[in-house]
Amino acid sequence: MAEATQPDYGLDAPLLVKRMFSRAGWTFAFGLAVFLMNKTEYPGPAATLLAVFAVLAAIFAGVGGYMTWSSRSAKLALRDELLDSLALNGDEKVLDAGCGLGLMTVGIAKRLKSGKATGVDSWDAAALSGNSAEAAKANAKQEGVADKTRFESGDVRKLVYPEKNFDVAVSALAIHNFHDDEDRMKAVIEMYRVLRPGGKLLILDILHVGDYAAELTKLGAKDVTVASHGFLWCLPTKSVMAVKS
């Protein structure tokens, strides 16, 4: 098999995307069956029902398609926009908490000269298609930054790194996967803890970003700023940036 020529940063919520397309197919099939069974005796109502089911099927397919586009295209463009706003010097030591396939880790490493980007994750396949440390390392190698990256297994709610260990900490589309409020806040607190004073923190997510901002303010962070990035994955996508005091 020929080696892939492009890195693969995965499809977010792959099971949900699959369900959207499956529902589209079954909905249209059901509507078509109802139409065929009733078109002779009730042509008008049968046609109306078919139209209704076709619209519902189109909505399901549209959601699946939009989520796929969000994962395959939009998140890469948004990543570059956010990393540009960090204005890295190139010598920073950076943490990517919940790195997945290395979307942010690799993007950061491409902006580093003497610095290093460390990605930490538990690599949940339900959250991201093809999710594994090996795949993340392969993406870094393919992007030519393997020497500037390191990927480690770990729990972002209990980071093993000492305080003041990183110049920058980022997290993208990861923390919302914790279903418990306390677990999400633990991840935010840990990211803040391992930053040096003056270090920058950036979190991109589809839910709970306002809660992250409130927690960072409570921790004493400076310049806490929330920005909206539309409705990628059909949900309000936002980021919060802050500086450790």
For the cut 90, the answer to whether the pLDDT of residue 6 exceeds it is no
User: Does the pLDDT at position 229 exceed 70?
Assistant: yes
The average pLDDT across 106-132 equals 97
Contacts of 227 (CB under 8 A, 6+ apart): 238, 239, 240, 241
Residue 2: the pLDDT is 44
Q: What is the DSSP letter of 128?
A: B
Q: Flag whether pLDDT at 1 surpasses 50.
A: no
> Would the pTM count as exceeding 0.85?
yes
pLDDT one-digit tens code per residue, 103-117: 999 999 999 999 999
pLDDT tens digits for range 33-83: 999 999 999 999 999 999 999 999 999 999 999 999 999 999 999 999 999
Angle of helix 14-38 relative to helix 43-69, nearest 10 degrees? 170
pLDDT in tens, 152-191: 999 999 999 999 999 999 999 999 999 999 999 999 999 9
Question: Region 216-235: what's the mean pLDDT?
Answer: 97
Question: Distance between CA 240 and CA 221 in Å, rounded?
Answer: 11
User: Which residues, 6+ apart, have CB-to-CB distance to 26 below 8 Å?
Assistant: none
Mean pLDDT estimate for the chain:
96
**In the 8-state DSSP scheme, what is residue 162?**
P
Share of the chain above pLDDT 70, in %: 98
Distance CA 203, CA 221 (A): 14
